[in-house]
Amino acid sequence: MSKAFKHSFNFSTQHEASYPKKHFASSNNKLSFKSCKASLGAIMVDKMSPFNYDRQSNLKAFDDTKTGVKGLFDSGITKIPPIFVHHDGQNANQNMAKSVHAGKKVNGFGVPTIDLMMDRTNDHINHSDIVNQVREACENWGFFQVINHGIPTSVLEDMLHAIRLFHEQDHEAKSELYSRDMARKVLYHSNIDLYYSKAGVWKDTITFNMEPSPPQPEEIPIICRNAAIEYGKYVMELAVDLLRLISEALGLNPSYLQDLECGEGHVLKGHYYPPCPEPELTFGTADHTDNTFLTILLQDQIGGLQVLNNNQWVDVPPLPGALVINLGDLLQIVTNDRFKSVHHRVLANKIGPRISVASFFRPRYGGGAVTRSYGPIKELLSEKNPAVYKDITIEEYTTQFLKESMDGNAALSHFKL
């Protein structure tokens, strides 16, 4: 027996007593491993340990319940199942000591907040001041919050509430949407990378593929239909505003990034983080970077989002009415490492649920879309600043990102010259 298998086997027995038996209905281990392989495709297979049949069947049994981690919480468990336990020394407890509570803004340190309202006065000085703030935030943090961004507070509140209502519906109402087929317009599941991450996280997600070809209204569950359509419209406009500001921050024409079709694809995700009985053993979202140009995140008041800055995990404190903006890997590539795609994560919490809504902006992709390639923007390069990435298509990037799974910038370094 390999060491790795023994290790996971020990944990399995240790935790199983508290895990509702119905979620572990006996299944043929070999068969479930094979079906995982078939459904995830060849690129995922090398992430799986061939010895780890026990883990694979537990994953499949959990997935088959179609009730997500919300279902586990509702069943009254007091210990989390072993498939969610992070063993690699990256657990929240160990890292907690290094967290900085940036909400206190000690010595002005913390994720910057930018007031965009000033930008609507057409005052030239204010505008260039905002562009400067955006440049600084993109260079030093890759993360910032915006206030007075033009999306009414009622639209934000309705969206958070609608996502909560969706996840808190009866099992029957949700289970027909349970799927891992990302080509669907609307789908719901727990742990997008369930079968190939090292350990699961305490989160369920409803995904809406909004742009370039949005779902028909009747494809969106009635309980969150109006809110998702309304929020989707506003957040797309904000993405355009931000791409203009970021273009200017780079010294480019305001429409430069839009003309590159950076924000034409919009995927909207409504995350639900139920209370977790053992938050120190797992995460809400594991350490990762986003495979986007730009992400706009709406979070509720619970907290737990952190970004990595100078090797310290820094809280991104909930700010009423604000939206969190972060840059993704694709922006780091086209800016030739000037603007950063920063590692971030969400801690699991005994308190909850926590709701967040993430809007991912990237070029349209798949479905026969024209595939242009992306590389460092020529205007930003010089003899002193030669290209450090090669030109790649979104398909090439996405395949690599999935292969590297949640290992952060590993996908980026693959494309370095």
Compute the least distance from the CB of residue 184 to Ni ion, in Å.
21
Show contacts with ligand OGA in window 225-284 (CB under 6 A): 269, 271
> Comparing C-alpha atoms, which of 272, 275, 278 is closest to residue 81?
278
Closer of 238 and 358 to ligand OGA (Cβ): 358
Q: What does the alpha-carbon distance between residue 322 and residue 249 come to, in Å, rounded to a whole number?
A: 21
> Comparing C-alpha atoms, which of 201, 203, 204 is closest to residue 91?
201
Closer of 325 and 358 to ligand OGA (Cβ): 358
Cα→Cα distances 208→128, 142, 149, 246, Å: 35, 25, 22, 26
> What dihedral angle (degrees, nearest 10) is formed by the CA atoms of 98, 103, 106, 112?
100
* Number of residue whose CB is nearest Ni ion: 290
Q: Which residues are CB-neighbours of 160 under 8 A, at least 6 positions away?
A: 298, 300, 355, 357
Q: Which one among 137, 201, 305, 392 touches ligand OGA, defined by CB under 6 A?
A: 305
Site string for Ni ion, 275-294 (x = CB under 5 A): ---------------x----
Closer of 244 and 344 to ligand OGA (Cβ): 344
Q: With binding defined as CB under 5 A, does residue 329 bind Ni ion? A: no
Interface with ligand OGA (CB under 6 A), residue total 11
Closer of 61 and 206 to ligand OGA (Cβ): 206
Q: With binding defined as CB under 6 A, does residue 344 bind ligand OGA? A: yes
Closer of 369 and 402 to Ni ion (Cβ): 402
- By a kind-dependent CB cut-off of 5 to 8 A, residue 297 interacts, out of Ni ion, ligand OGA, none, with ligand OGA
Q: What does the alpha-carbon distance between residue 64 and residue 61 come to, in Å, rounded to a whole number?
A: 5
Q: With binding defined as CB under 6 A, does residue 297 bind ligand OGA? A: yes
Q: Which one among 204, 261, 290, 329 touches ligand OGA, defined by CB under 6 A?
A: 290
Q: What does the alpha-carbon distance between residue 249 and residue 251 come to, in Å, rounded to a whole number?
A: 5
CB 367, CB 297: distance < 8 Å: no
CB 376, CB 287: distance < 8 Å: no
Compute the least distance from the CB of residue 150 to Ni ion, in Å.
23
Compute the least distance from the CB of residue 186 to ligand OGA, in Å.
17
Q: Tell me the window of 5-13, 76-84, 98-106, 297-305 that interacts with ligand OGA (CB under 6 A).
A: 297-305
Residue-wise DSSP of 286-326: EEE--SSSEEEEEE-SS--EEEEETTEEEE----TT-EEEE
Q: With binding defined as CB under 6 A, does residue 86 bind ligand OGA? A: no
CB 261, CB 293: distance < 8 Å: no
CB 330, CB 348: distance < 8 Å: no
Q: What does the alpha-carbon distance between residue 311 and residue 97 come to, in Å, rounded to a whole number?
A: 12
Closer of 133 and 191 to ligand OGA (Cβ): 191
Q: With binding defined as CB under 6 A, does residue 285 bind ligand OGA? A: yes
Compute the least distance from the CB of residue 297 to ligand OGA, in Å.
6
* Number of residue whose CB is nearest ligand OGA: 356
Compute the least distance from the CB of residue 284 to ligand OGA, in Å.
7
Residue-wise DSSP of 334-384: HTTTSS----EEEE--SS--EEEEEEEEE---STT----EE-S-GGG--SS
Show contacts with ligand OGA in window 353-372 (CB under 6 A): 356, 358
**What's the sign of the alpha-carbon dihedral 65, 171, 270, 87?**
negative
In the sheet with 323-327, reading across from the earlier edge strand, the strands are 113-115, 143-147, 323-327, 294-299, 354-362, 265-273, 204-211, 186-190
Site string for ligand OGA, 387-416 (x = CB under 6 A): ------------------------------
Closer of 247 and 295 to ligand OGA (Cβ): 295
Compute the least distance from the CB of residue 102 to ligand OGA, in Å.
15
- By a kind-dependent CB cut-off of 5 to 8 A, residue 266 interacts, out of Ni ion, ligand OGA, none, with none
| Contacts to Ni ion by CB under 5 A | 290
| Contacts to ligand OGA by CB under 6 A | 269, 271, 285, 290, 297, 299, 305, 344, 346, 356, 358
